[in-house]
A and B are shown apart, each in its own frame.
Chain A
Amino acid sequence: MNPTEELVDLLDLERLDGDLFRGKQPESARARVYGGQVAAQALMAGIRTVPADFAVHSLHSYFLLGGDYSVPIVYDVERIRDGRSFMTRRVVARQHGRPIYYQTLNFQLPEEGYEHQDAMPEVGAPETGFDLVDVMRKGGNDEADALGKEWGALDVRWLGNTRFGLDPDDGHVSQARMWIRLREGLPDDPAVHVAAFTYASDVSLLGSTLSVHDVNPSKTQMASLDHTLWFHRPFRADQWWLYDQWSPSAQGARGLAFGQIYTADGTLVVTAAQEGLIRPRRPGSEGPGVKE
């Protein structure tokens, strides 16, 4: 299997019982399960408990504990609401009998209505960007090689950030931009595109909170605290999409980031939000780990 097929396989959960699922684990050199994997697998568990004509339009989630690659993650879906237009599911991801992640998902029967969207900023083509893992490696990120292997399915072209190559824009003090796509084609199933996107959406968002700060990421303890996505319009995750990220605020060892996702033709397809722990590591201290 190529890395894209491996990702599709990772997102294909085993149904243990009605609303209870089990996710596979990838081979990984990292200590804790990548947050985007947990978010995407939880989303897939939720999707499998609603009728196919309902489309996921938002998810809100909190990361509670670091995930352990050595055992599978169990996803327990609770049916919160079955309405005529909207359905709500809550997914608890757990390992070793403890919740590691909570996600609430809302689904809607698609309808017609008012239409508007923010305009895509003017940016360079994907070919003008730099491979994100190379950028991380050159920036002194100890985890770059392990992440490059983990994210083998993703083609990420970094366009720049506030300190390197990006002009200040729209009043944003801390920004980063990149193009992302899956390296190989995905099946046409819309759920696979939404889930593959969700996997990719956690790749770099928190990084934009440090774009304005001259710090080595390896000297900073970083962990996603929450993760939120609003899906505006359907799109293909295996064709280029722009991840336009900005951080309005950092304070008290936390940073908040927003992201807007545009397809290459300028359609706004997703808005993302993430708050994360960005804690300066004391010299000589490894800190208490990635997630509590």
Chain B
Amino acid sequence: MPRDADELLALLELEKIDDDLFRGAQMPTSRPMVFGGQVAAQSLVAASRTVAPEYVAHSLHSYFLQPGDPTTPTIYDVENLRDGRSFVTRRVIAQQHGRPIYAQTVNFHKVEPGYEHEESMPDVPGPDHESVRPVSREVQEELHADQWNVADIRFVSSSAGHTDADPRHPGRQQVWLRVSSALPDDQFWHRAAFTYLSDMTLVGAAMAPHGISFARGDAFVASLDHAVWFHRPFRADEWWLYDQVSPSASSGRALTLARVFSQDGQLVASVAQEAVLRPRKEGGR
């Protein structure tokens, strides 16, 4: 798995096999299955490479269908759903061993002016504040979660243990994140790198009210879907606040909604993800 921005970019640089058909490489990993953020980001890159540069990706919606096999490359097959004047839509099927593992639809918009509003960033300590905890490499290695290496992650707060209780939102978590080294200036790579990182930590907000932990492996977790709305340009290699609320858990599933703020307080993206969240003793899927 990538350890820095350069390795991440190499992973996201797809090989073009034919028009609308791409192949994404794998990197050595200790995980038994491909990290979801990798499939999501590679799909976004595949879709974007079939679209004229003046159209900017503003949203993606996707479902995870099968665990990805990290020992074999992933094929990305792009279907053209619409070439409109203002909007362009692509659907990408990621496949391995002849089976779809992931389906993503991406919408692109030609930049235009319009109404403006945004929610304000909550008042939180910055990433360098003494109360904000970096995640140590030791913890990462214990997790065998080497996808974390490309990210700097600092936990700000969560509703676990009622240390930061809000009766309206029992499941909450706030995390500072960034790509751990510099990306090129092109916004395209910041959206792609953000998409990679956006699959990290979200389930923590859903676990917080239940006294369970991802690090301890208390529960079986698998992403079901993943949606991103890009609002404003930002740098994924500078700190952004991942402000997460899990509005609901039921029937072995949990939803998390997240706002993404750049450190200067701009709301730059919104994310939604539903995941399977099952007590571990009941076994896997």
Contact = CB atoms under 8 A, between A and B. Distances in A.
Contacts of A117: 170, 247-250
Given A99-B81, A108-B251, A251 B118 contact: yes
A138 interface: no
Contacts of B249: 113-117
A173 B117 contact: yes
Contacts of B103: 80, 88, 90, 104
B216 interface: no
Interface residues of A, number: 69
Interface in B155-212: 167-171, 206, 209-210, 212
A39 B76 CA distance: 27
A278 interface: yes
B272 A252 contact: no
Interface string B69-97: 00000000000011011110101000000
A228 interface: yes
B105 to A, nearest CB: 6
Determine chain A's interface SS by DSSP, over half rule: strand
Nearest to A57: B253
Contact of B167 (A57, A61, A119, A247): A119
A102 B107 CA distance: 12
Interface in B104-144: 105, 107, 109, 111-120, 122
Contacts of A260: 247
A119 B170 CA distance: 8
B65 A118 contact: no
B81 A64 contact: yes
A171 B122 contact: yes
Interface stretch (B7-15, B35-43, B223-231): B223-231
A258 interface: yes
Contact of B63 (A104, A113, A115): A104
Nearest to A247: B117
Contact of B116 (A61, A119, A121, A250): A250
Contact of A292 (B84, B254, B285): B84
A292 B206 CA distance: 38
B207 to A, nearest CB: 8
23 contacts: A57-B251, A60-B225, A64-B89, A83-B285, A84-B285, A102-B91, A104-B63, A106-B225, A108-B253, A113-B279, A114-B219, A114-B249, A117-B247, A118-B168, A171-B122, A225-B87, A230-B274, A251-B231, A251-B232, A256-B229, A275-B59, A277-B86, A292-B87
Interface of A: 57-58, 60-62, 64-65, 80-81, 83-86, 88, 90, 99, 102, 104, 106, 108, 110-119, 121, 170-174, 209-210, 212-213, 215, 225-226, 228, 230, 232-233, 247-256, 258, 260, 268, 271, 273, 275, 277-280, 288, 292
Interface of B: 58-59, 61-63, 65-66, 81-82, 84-87, 89, 91, 100, 103, 105, 107, 109, 111-120, 122, 167-171, 206, 209-210, 212, 219, 224-225, 227, 229, 231-232, 245-255, 257, 259, 267, 270, 272, 274, 276-279, 285
Given A119-B167, A228-B61, A230-B272, 17 more contacts: A58-B274, A81-B65, A83-B285, A90-B103, A102-B105, A114-B279, A116-B248, A212-B117, A225-B87, A226-B61, A250-B115, A252-B114, A253-B113, A256-B229, A256-B270, A275-B229, A278-B115
